[in-house]
Amino acid sequence: MKLSAKKGAGLLLSFEARDANAWYVNTLRRLMTTETPVMAIELVEFTKNDSILYDEIIALRLGLVPLTTDLSSYKIASAQERESREYLAQSSCKLTLKAKGPCVVYAKDLATKDPKIKPVYPDMPIVKLLEGQELELEATAILGQGKAHAKWSAGHAFFKALDEQGSEHKEFAFTLESWGQLKPQEIVTAAVEEYNKQLKEFDQLVSAL
């Protein structure tokens, strides 16, 4: 398969896939949206919460805040880490929040232990605090995949055939929109690397039979 970029600006990337077929391109699309890992808040420990929202609602809102992701510094949390809910430094990042009303608490109010892991959209509102109300918490963001939960989805991708050869399409127009955790080019690279990894693992399993 040959890839050629058509246009790319910010979070949107369009390119053409040639000498390919529908199943391969669709696999690439799926890998981009469900296998490419990104950071998202998984655990929230509250010290104070006098706001109108329950702890669970605030935790849910925090989990949906897209976080910039550094794939070179973190690894996907292991099954053992998920079961124990004790995450290692190589798969997690701590963020803290402390606010007192009257004010609106925004994503930018999250203080991060790693400057590479921070809210993509700083002005996303979390909750409004009235006079005297306080909110204090510590959140743990981990590296995960969209196949486990949508909050770890890296973006949205779709494609369409460019040629008219019936079921034997060979050229496709591909569009990828990142949610901001990674650049679109990083998502494509990560998806291809993951595909090669899975093919290698499959080959090893077949060879072992």
Quick one: 51 and 71 in the same domain? yes
32 DSSP 8-state letter: I
Structural domain ending residue among the three candidates 150, 169, 191: 150
* Beta carbons of 91 and 76 less than 8 angstroms apart: yes
Same domain, 111 and 127: yes
pLDDT of residue 207: 86
**74 lies in the same domain as 43:** yes
Distance CA 76, CA 153 (A): 14
Over residues 67-84, the mean pLDDT reads: 93
Q: Is the pLDDT of residue 6 over 90?
A: no
Confidence of residue 149 (pLDDT cuts 50, 70, 90): very high
Total domains, the chain: 2
Same domain flag for 45 and 132: yes
Q: What is the CATH number of the domain that holds 138?
A: 2.170.120.12
Same domain, 59 and 105: yes
Q: Do 90 and 50 lie in a common domain? A: yes
Q: Residue 71 has what DSSP assignment?
A: T
CATH number for the domain that contains residue 173: 3.30.1360.10
- The pair of structure tokens assigned to 39 is 């950071």
Q: How far apart are CA 103 and CA 69, in angstroms?
A: 28
Query: Same domain for 61 and 160?
Result: no
Q: Which domain holds residue 199?
A: 2-35+154-207
Rounded to the nearest 10°, the torsion over CA 87, 91, 92, 93 is 150
Distance CA 193, CA 199 (A): 10
Model-wide pTM > 0.85: yes
CA angle 58, 61, 62 (to 5 degrees): 85
- Rounded to 5 degrees, φ, ψ at 156 are -120, 135
- Angle (deg, nearest 10), helices 184-207 and 22-30: 110
Q: What are phi and psi of 191, to 5 degrees?
A: -65, -45
The answer to whether residues 73 and 132 belong to one domain is: yes
User: Given a cut of 90, is residue 18 above it in pLDDT?
Assistant: no
Residues 87 and 29 in one domain: no
Among 150, 173, 197, the domain-final residue is: 150
Least Cα distance to 37 among 187, 197, 184 occurs for 187
| Nearest in space to 117 (alpha carbons), one of 99, 92, 134 | 92
